[in-house]
Amino acid sequence: MTKPHDTTNRYEEPNLAARALNELFRGLAEAGVSIAGTRAVRIRGRKTGKLRGVVVNLLDVDGRQFLVSPRGNTQWARNARAAGQVEIGPRWRRRIVDIKELADDAKPDILRHYLKRWYWEVRGHVGGLTPESTDHDLRAVAPSIPVFELAT
């Protein structure tokens, strides 16, 4: 009998080209230029305590804002989970925001919105999901995709 795949530890590390592109978009977001909803986020490292910058897509659903880690349990997601807060916004307008990680059963609706908005960008990095994924598929992959709600 084969062992089930542990989806909670899934992390699809970006290749060199993706990292370079992310750095470009992060620099633009730090300067206040948002490309298709990107935002600059800084998160305190859980080991070093240093602020680390990353660019993410900020999802707005019914007046609530969410950060989704489509590549899985990335360093920024682990750091955010440990810190319980993030700094968000361009350099001159940063604000510290508390975050709360969503339970797996609360993720499918948020993931569906995220996929409708950014599938063109994240396809291949969301555990096989597409905008047409069923509720069953979304629930099955939800444990492998950290989702954080920003406090209002």
* pTM of the model as a whole: 0.82
Is 73 a domain residue?
Answer: yes
User: By residue range, what is the domain housing residue 82?
Assistant: 15-150
pLDDT tens column, 73-85: 999 999 999 999 9
Q: Residue 17: which pLDDT band, with cuts at 50, 70 and 90?
A: low
Domain count, the chain: 1
Is 59 a domain residue?
Answer: yes
Is 3 a domain residue?
Answer: no
State residue 2's pLDDT score.
30
pLDDT tens column, 79-133: 999 999 999 988 778 899 999 999 999 999 999 999 999 998 788 788 889 999 9
7-28 per-residue burial string, b: 16 or more CB within 10 A, e: under 16: eeebebeeeeeeeeeeeebbeb
CATH classification of the domain holding 27 = 2.30.110.10
State residue 146's pLDDT score.
95
Residue 47: which of 86, 82, 84 has the closest Cα?
82
Is 10 a domain residue?
Answer: no
